[in-house]
Structures are given as C-alpha cells and as structure tokens.
Structure 1
Amino acid sequence: MTNTVTNKSIFSSKLFSINYVTYPINHSVMEHIDLVEKGRYYKLNFILRQPKVGGVFKCAKSIINVANRIYLFRPDLYPHSVSKIESGKRVLLSFALHV
C-alpha cells in the first residue's frame, strides 16, 4: 500500500483540467490558497470515496457544498484544507477552470 498521493490527469489544457486524485491514509493538506497570476480559478470536486475517519475538506467559503461530497469553490480566493486521513482513503474527481 502506497502512502503517496496519486494524481491522474484525465484531461488538461490551459483553461480546463480533469484529475482523478487518491489521498492515502495519514495524508493531510495544510490550509492554503492556490496562487494564480491572473484571472479566476474555480474547482469542482466530487468526492467519490470518503475516508472512514478524517479527510474532512474545509474551505473558508464554498460556492456549492452538496452533502459534503460535491464542492464548487474558488481556491484562489479562499483558504482550504483537508484534515488528516486516519482510516481509509479519499478519492475525488476534480474539475478545474482558470478563466
């Protein structure tokens, strides 16, 4: 079992990307803002698999939050993080738009 994040690019262009991301046990994402040189940055994340314990996404302000499984947010404006995954893994399909 690997303890590294796997990020598989399904599609990528200058403006739009789709990634399939797996976060393993013991992984966390520190609070941060995604820097962009110009424009607006949007992310739409579908949580396909929730960890059994931990792995909670936190964002200062989400545009949409459906049942803590679907998030639309501005990672360039609002701090966001994921708490430590204590059991299981977190799998998401992430759509990113930079306009």
Structure 2
Amino acid sequence: MGRVINRSLLNTWRLSVNLVTYPEGHHVRRHNDPIGGGSYYKLNFVLIKPAKGGVFETDRVIFSLFKRVILFRPDLYDHSVSTIVRGKRVLLSIALHAPWGCAAQ
C-alpha cells in the first residue's frame, strides 16, 4: 500500500484547502473529527474516483451531488472510506472551522 499524499494549498486558523491522493489499497477507518468549539464543515470534491472501492460513507451529509461533491460535518458524524481496490482517489478538500454553533448537537 502506498502513502497518502496531502498537499496543503491554503492553511489558516479557520480555513484549509488540501489536495489529497489516496493510493490503491488505502482505506479510512470510521471516525469523527472532534474540535474544541464552534462548528466544523468539510466540502470535498472527488476529482478522481477509483475504478473499484474507495466509497465515502457518513452518517449524515448536508449536501451531496452525484457522490462527487460532498458537504458534511466531520465533527458531528462518523465517516469512512472503503478500501480502494483498483485505482486511486483524489480529492480537493475545503475545511472550515466556524466560530458559531457548537461541536455537540
């Protein structure tokens, strides 16, 4: 299994933009991303879908367009990616740590 390549395109206290490449054989275990306060949003654009596997799953999405553009709350809901059996998964991930709201709902 190869290494995940995570290229940071922008990184501020509230906003980050990353180009992430997941290789064949990789998977992401079910987890959530707790934060200390406020609200955490992620908008993922799947630029390259693997030929087989690499399916994103979460307990709840705010918005999904053809499972290629996904807005969700990683702080509130568990999420995972199944094993990439063939190919690679590339995403542009935009994360916003908003000062409003709270992490627990």
Same fold (TM over 0.5): yes
- Whole-Å Cα distance in 1 between the matches of residues 50 and 39 of structure 2? 30
Q: Cα deviation per residue 1:22-58 (whole Å; 9 max; x = unaligned)?
A: 0000000000000101110000000000000000000
Question: What are structure 1's unaligned runs of at least 5 residues?
Answer: none
List structure 1 segments (4+ residues) > 6 angstroms apart after TM superposition: none
Percent pairwise identity: 51
In the alignment of these two chains, the number of paired residues is: 98
- Equivalence for 1:94: 93
Give me the TM-score of the superposition, normalised by structure 1. 0.97
The 5 Å alignment of 1:1-99 reads 3-99=2-98
Give me the TM-score of the superposition, normalised by structure 2. 0.92
RMSD, aligned CA: 0.8
- Equivalence for 2:103: none
- Whole-Å Cα distance in 1 between the matches of residues 56 and 28 of structure 2? 9
- Whole-Å Cα distance in 1 between the matches of residues 83 and 90 of structure 2? 14
Letter aligned with residue 51 of structure 2: K
